[in-house]
Structure 1
Amino acid sequence: MKTKIRFVICLLFGLMFINAGLDKFLHYMPMPEDIPADMINLMTAMMEISWLIPLVGIFELIGGVLFIFPRYRALGAMILLPILVGITLTNITAAPSGLPLVIILLAIEGWIILENRQKYLVMIK
């Protein structure tokens, strides 16, 4: 039962990042109407660097796909960690209304990292 729950949570987590990565290329999700001015300024600055948004999108796609499969979940978690840190800092500074979802995503990421800590210890030994 625990493995089924973990799989469903990781599937949804991975699909969220796959969706976000695909949107960076296909632009199918509409922009909300009530975006704070700080967030608009931040997104405008990020779009000035033409390679940044596609790079983040590629890593979101790769990390999201890897996160779904148990064998590669630890690698997917490491790929998505810097993106999730960026999302967290963006929500803290520019759009605090998104923090509840970010806290849930951080909890899932932390849970998976803790569960796979033996795989990461090899890198620092």
Structure 2
Amino acid sequence: MNSRFTYLMRLLLGVILLVFGLNKFLNFIPAPELPENAASFITSLATTGYVLQVVGVLEILIGLLLLTNKWVAFALVVLAPISVNILLFHLFLDIPGISGALLVAVINGILMYKLWPKYKPLFN
């Protein structure tokens, strides 16, 4: 996990998560125009009053853990279902916006692969 490549991937993923997590609270990046089904889905999540906030807090915490190089293996495990859901949202509801979701999912996968020895005991 100490190569320059994994270091850069960890920092890139950390920055992405921190920025998009903070954006859920500060709204400094305007929301893109979404297809009707995608907009309806996001509206229903926002209506709950907690889902998007919880995801935002998790993204911020995971981003900070990655940027500070603390509990990285744990952070990546917590991020896995979030990144899969982001990917599935774009795959089924907003295919034009899938590039960012693919980037997050691929980097998450690469970093988990690089840390595989830490996860191996989970499968014994």
TM-score by length of structure 1 reads 0.87
Q: Which 5+ residue runs of structure 1 have no aligned equivalent?
A: none
Q: How does 1:53-64 map to 2 (within 5 A)?
A: 53-64=52-63
Partner of 2:9: 9
Number of residue pairs aligned between Structure 1 and Structure 2: 123
1-side partners of 2:65 and 2:84: how far apart?
18
Partner of residue 44, structure 2: 45
Greater relative contact order (Cα < 8 A, sep 6+): 2
1:89 corresponds to 2:88: yes
* Range that drifts further, 98-107 or 18-27: 98-107
Measured after TM superposition, the shift of residue 91 of structure 1 is 0.3
| Conserved 8 A contact 2:9-2:111 | no
Any idea what the Cα deviations from partners look like across 1:47-93, whole Å, max 9, x if unmatched?
A: 11101111111110111111234452211111111110110110011
**What pairs with 1:1-125 in structure 2 (closer than 5 Å)?**
3-32=3-32, 34-125=33-124
Separation (CA, whole Å) in 1 of partners of 2:90 and 2:24: 18
**Equivalents in 2 of 1:29, 1:105: separation in Å?**
18
